[in-house]
Amino acid sequence: MEQTFLMIKPDGVQRGLIGDIVSRLERKGLQLTAAKFMRLDRKLAEAHYAEHAGRPYYDPLIAFITSGPVFAMVWRGDGVIALTRALIGKTDALQAAPGTIRSDYAVHTNFNLIHGSDSAENAEREIKLYFTQEELVDYEHTIQRWI
Ligand code: CDP
Ligand code: MG
């Protein structure tokens, strides 16, 4: 089954939104397979956002993402990459559809609460950056047949 990497950014942690965001993903019927509360060092932040190097928002982005703890997760489900991108909403809070995480809670693009992988290749790359194979917990998600 498809897997994706999601990460509640430092603003989401500071605003006490870990529970709400995890709850939305659980209620959707997705399966949590790994989670880690951690702080990114500069090296990991730069590896994560490598494709954004050179953009005008890059330096502030690296400063922001390393400014406090994050909650990194792996979730599994059919079509989970596109589904979670839809639940998260567009990068710019103004463009995010009502009911999405970013529409409901974000005001500025640079404080947009959560990261979600945008493709299968990036999901695989990002999962490997944050988790070892042993940290991905393989188990039967017993409600799957009802979803
Ligand atoms: O997170 P998402 O995939 O929706 O957006 P992105 O285009 O891949 O950009 C990565 C992150 O860079 C965003 O989530 C923002 O935190 C930040 N960003 C920004 O601060 N200002 C921009 N104009 C674009 C992106
Ligand atoms: Mg992106």
The rounded mean pLDDT for the chain is 97
Q: What pLDDT shows up at residue 127?
A: 98
Active site residue 115: yes
Q: List pLDDT tens digits, range 66-103.
A: 999 999 999 999 999 999 999 999 999 999 999 999 99
Q: How confident is the model at residue 3 (pLDDT cuts 50, 70, 90)?
A: very high
How much is the average pLDDT of 129-136? 98
**Which pTM was predicted?**
0.97
Contact assessment for residue 112 and residue 93, using Cβ atoms and an 8 Å cutoff: yes
| Residue to substitute in 61, 92, 107 for testing ligand 1 pocket (most ligand atoms within 8 angstroms of CB) | 61
Element (H, E) at 11: helix 10-14
Pick the residue whose CA is nearest to atom 20 on ligand 1: 110
Pocket of ligand 1 from Cβ distances under 6 Å: 52, 57, 61, 91, 109-110, 112, 115, 118
